[in-house]
Copies of this chain bind each other. A is one copy, B any other.
Amino acid sequence: MDKIPILRMGAFLLVTIQVDMHDRLALTLQDDLTNRIVETGARGVLIDISTLQMVDSFIGRMLANIASMSRILDAQTVVVGMQPAVAITLVELGLSLHGVRTALNVERGMELLKAAITPNVDGSAHGAVEA
């Protein structure tokens, strides 16, 4: 296991994290993901963490980094499928996932992304609400 697959779904990229992350895998993912955003012109990144039973500060920082990098490349990041226990742990650890949006599942995450990249009818540039 040397890399995490990145699936293209229309204007979005989907990453499913299933394995324990370690430094090199996280760096590879950041490299691959930023390259894919540039190649495909993706406007959004969905990161599914539904199988993660635990999120430590390393994963939390990695998610925040990916969100920041994507934002610079004009893509929004949504973390989906978080387990209740993970949310509890994150708050107890004092990790607020600053700048990272979340949604209950992939479908809702896609709706969130679609709403965020579609300009409002009333003339304002973006329908996105900043976290």
Contact = CB atoms under 8 A, between A and B. Distances in A.
Interface of A: 1, 3-5, 7-10, 14, 16, 18-20, 48, 50-51, 81, 105-107, 110
A1 B4 CA distance: 15
Q: Which of A9, A10, A18 has the most CB of B within 10 A?
A: A18
Interface of A is mostly: loop
A5 B50 contact: yes
User: Which 5 pairs, one residue from A and one from B, show the smallest C-beta to C-beta distance?
Assistant: A16-B16, A7-B106, A5-B51, A5-B50, A18-B18
Contacts of A14: 7, 14, 106
Nearest to A2: B51
24 contacts: A1-B51, A3-B51, A4-B51, A5-B16, A5-B18, A5-B48, A5-B50, A7-B14, A7-B48, A7-B81, A7-B105, A7-B106, A8-B105, A8-B106, A9-B9, A9-B106, A9-B107, A9-B110, A10-B107, A16-B16, A16-B18, A18-B18, A18-B19, A19-B19
